[in-house]
């Protein structure tokens, strides 16, 4: 898979699938259910929360905004106009506070301190934009509880670098999985893409989500 946007020829007449993300985690989750995007087209948008915006609203707005942005780019390209755009965004919330996608060690330490020994919510918005501009979307909420983290837990996790660029300063599919005491909801949504909801949205948009199942590969 390349991020050049070049089309990988399909053996079917299915519409092209455009993933509006450069996340290797979202790509791997799609591949898990037999879907291989024809294009990776990350959406370049401002992800700054608006004043008084709730984490729930932020996740949904960003997912839809990513889908709209890439839909416009696809519509401007003759070869991509038939494509179905899939976008998602994940927001980790401590109470009513949306935690950042940590880039600095101080941000990561703050996130881990806020999540230590308590429950938090992960909101993942998913949006699918069809040719013609129709957008379908879904918000998935998952509850996660961390164990009480020692200073050594936090320092050594920060030293791993795994947190960098991750919502809430952690990656549940990695080392931070050892922090999770309880999870209620969708595990893949916390990783970055809720699979049931994604498949349903794509199917509703006319994309044949089972086309690769017969051979076990997309």
Average pLDDT over residues 176-191: 98
Mean of pLDDT over the chain = 91
Query: What's the rounded Cα separation, in Å, for the pair 172 and 189?
Result: 10
Give the number of other Cβ atoms within 10 Å of residue 139's Cβ.
18
Runs of H (alpha helix) within the chain: 24-32, 55-75, 105-115, 151-160, 187-191, 195-204
State yes or no: pLDDT of 108 exceeds 90.
yes
* Contact indicator for 20, 43 with CB cutoff of 8 Å: yes
Average pLDDT over residues 9-27: 81
Query: What's the rounded Cα separation, in Å, for the pair 81 and 108?
Result: 40
* Contact indicator for 17, 212 with CB cutoff of 8 Å: no
* Model pLDDT, residue 163: 96
Least confident piece of the model among 15-19, 138-142, 201-205, 210-214? 210-214
State yes or no: pLDDT of 113 exceeds 60.
yes
Q: Is the dihedral of CA 122, 66, 212, 14 positive or negative?
A: positive
Domains by residue range for the chain, with CATH: 17-215 (3.90.950.10)
Query: What's the rounded Cα separation, in Å, for the pair 139 and 126?
Result: 6
State yes or no: pLDDT of 206 exceeds 60.
yes
* Model pLDDT, residue 215: 65
pLDDT of 76-85, one tens digit each? 998 999 999 9
pLDDT of 35-57, one tens digit each? 999 999 999 899 999 999 999 99
Query: What's the rounded Cα separation, in Å, for the pair 23 and 42?
Result: 9
Q: Which phi and psi (to 5°) does residue 117 adopt?
A: 70, 15
Residue 1's pLDDT band, with cuts at 50, 70 and 90, is very low
Average pLDDT over residues 139-155: 98
State yes or no: pLDDT of 92 exceeds 60.
yes
Q: Which residues pair with 39 in a beta bridge?
A: 18
> Which of 67, 181, 55 shows the shortest CA–CA distance to 123?
55
Q: Is 69 helix (H, G, I), strand (E, B) or coil?
A: helix
Q: Which of 46, 89, 106, 155 is catalytic?
A: 89
* Model pLDDT, residue 216: 52
| Separation in Å, CA 79 to CA 12, 37, 100, 130 | 16, 15, 36, 15
* Model pLDDT, residue 4: 42
89 as an active site residue: the answer is yes
* Contact indicator for 101, 161 with CB cutoff of 8 Å: no
pLDDT of 148-177, one tens digit each? 999 999 999 999 999 999 999 999 999 999
* Model pLDDT, residue 6: 39
Average pLDDT over residues 7-32: 81
Average pLDDT over residues 2-24: 67
pLDDT of 55-77, one tens digit each? 999 999 999 999 999 999 999 99
Whole-structure pTM value:
0.90
């Amino acid at each position: 898979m390349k991020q050049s946007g070049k089309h990988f020829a399909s053996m079917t007449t299915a519409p092209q699938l455009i993933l509006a993300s450069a996340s290797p985690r979202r790509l791997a989750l799609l591949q898990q259910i037999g879907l291989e995007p024809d294009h990776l087209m990350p959406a370049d948008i401002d992800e700054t929360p608006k004043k008084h915006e709730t984490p729930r609203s932020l996740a949904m707005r960003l997912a839809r905004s990513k889908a709209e942005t890439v839909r416009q780019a696809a519509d401007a390209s003759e070869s991509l106009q038939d494509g179905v755009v899939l976008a998602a965004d994940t927001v980790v919330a401590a109470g009513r506070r949306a935690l950042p996608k940590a880039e600095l060690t101080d941000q990561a330490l703050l996130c881990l301190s806020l999540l230590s020994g308590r429950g938090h919510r992960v909101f993942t918005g998913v949006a699918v934009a069809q040719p013609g501009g129709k957008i379908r979307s879904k918000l998935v909420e998952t509850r996660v509880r961390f164990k009480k983290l020692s200073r050594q837990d936090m320092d050594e996790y920060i030293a791993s670098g795994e947190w960098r660029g991750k919502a809430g300063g952690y990656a549940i599919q990695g080392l931070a999985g050892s922090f999770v005491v309880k999870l209620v909801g969708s595990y893949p949504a916390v990783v970055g893409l809720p699979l049931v909801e994604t498949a349903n949205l794509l199917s509703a948009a006319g994309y044949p989500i089972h086309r690769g199942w017969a051979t076990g590969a997309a």
